[in-house]
Amino acid sequence: MEQLILIVTTSDDSQMLRDLGRTLVEQRAAACAQLSGPMESTYAWQGSLEQSSEWMLTIKTFDRFQYAVVDKIQRLHNYEIPEILVLEPSWVADDYLRWAAQQVRLPGVGPALNLVVPPNGAGGLRHVDQSEEHAAERIEVSPQRWHLYLHGTMHPPSLAAAKYGDRAWPTLKIDPGDLCDPMPYEFDAFCGQLAAALGVYCEPDGAFGWHPQFGDESGVASRTSVTGTIHCVDRRVLAVEMFAELRPEDWHRFVRQFKDVPWLVVQLVEAGVFVSPATMRDILAQATPH
């Protein structure tokens, strides 16, 4: 049977944690979510010793949903750097394990798909089954520009495979029907959100560019450069295509704009696989020169 895991996070906002736990259980990404507190936390933050009252959310799920749940926490959490711990219990009662497994099982989750854009954009987006041969290719890690899509899905993705190349880059299974549903964003409102939060300018046809002009702590200018297209259906956002050279921290700033998307997945076009935003951030961290 699959591995039951506990995912723990803390916050000073008990209502945010309560809503997060309820959402995960309702969407069958978790069997149970328990909120406890308040408790007193002592920690160092930006050179000062801090004390605050916090609550703790303990999420009981299975390892195949780990990356989906972690992404959900990162996108909805009110902290800049949230505490997220993944724990494996040494023993679980058989009856409880069977009950938990029944709560998170999703019928109809099919193989991963490859989304491609036909030449000259004719016919919009189409979906093609991913081949066994393509799925076995390595995910190359380099500072070169990435070609990727951001998709919103209605159900939590589960793990499809665990290793590509020399590193374990967890990839995801995607329900084919999910990729046909638009995200909960109207095009003009979404463009306005990106402009207000990140300074992204979007053309009327969905083309956009993002070139943040700020330095990191060492004073080095950002290497982030993003161009892309927002694909729509009936003026609602269906997918966001990106050609990008990204720093992990800028990637995190961008995907946090998708807080209203039930589940966010990343398609790496060259590799023909889907990964979670958290996995993509890890890939970028390895690719970024230090």
List, for residues 84-124, the tens digit of each pLDDT value. Answer: 999 999 999 999 999 999 998 654 443 444 444 333 333 34
> Exposure of 221 by Cβ count < 10 A (0-12 exposed, 13-18 middle, 19+ buried)?
exposed
Asked if 6 contacts 86 with a C-beta cutoff of 8 angstroms, the reply is yes
CATH class of 113-287: alpha beta
Q: What is the mean pLDDT of the chain?
A: 82
CATH assignment of 4-104?
3.30.70.120
List, for residues 238-276, the tens digit of each pLDDT value. Answer: 999 999 888 888 999 999 999 899 899 999 888 788 999
Q: How far is CA 141 from CA 41, 238, 245, 271, 283, in A?
A: 38, 27, 12, 11, 7
Query: Could you give the residue range(s) of every CATH 3.30.70.120 domain in the chain?
Result: 4-104
List, for residues 64-87, the tens digit of each pLDDT value. Answer: 899 899 999 998 999 988 999 999
State how far the Cα of 179 lies from the Cα of 96, in Å rounded to an integer: 33
State how far the Cα of 217 lies from the Cα of 220, in Å rounded to an integer: 8
pLDDT at 207: 95
The pTM score is 0.76
pLDDT at 285: 86
* pLDDT tier, 211 (very low <50, low <70, confident <90, very high otherwise): confident
Least confident among 6-15, 110-119, 176-185 = 110-119
pLDDT at 114: 42
Least confident among 79-83, 171-175, 201-205 = 171-175
DSSP of 150-201: EEEESS--EEEES-BTTB---EEE--GGGGGSPPS-BHHHHHHHHHHHH--E
Task: Choose between 184 and 135: higher pLDDT.
Answer: 184
Which tokens is 187 given? 């095009």
Query: Could you give the residue range(s) of every CATH 3.30.310 domain in the chain?
Result: 113-287
Count the alpha carbons within 13 Å of 171 in the hemisphere toward its beta carbon. 23
List, for residues 27-70, the tens digit of each pLDDT value. Answer: 899 999 999 989 999 999 889 999 999 999 999 999 989 989 99
Count the alpha carbons within 13 Å of 107 in the hemisphere toward its beta carbon. 0
Q: Taking 90 as the threshold, does the pLDDT of residue 203 lie above it?
A: yes
List all residues 6 or more positions away from 77 whose beta carbon is below 8 Å from its beta carbon: 9, 11, 16, 20
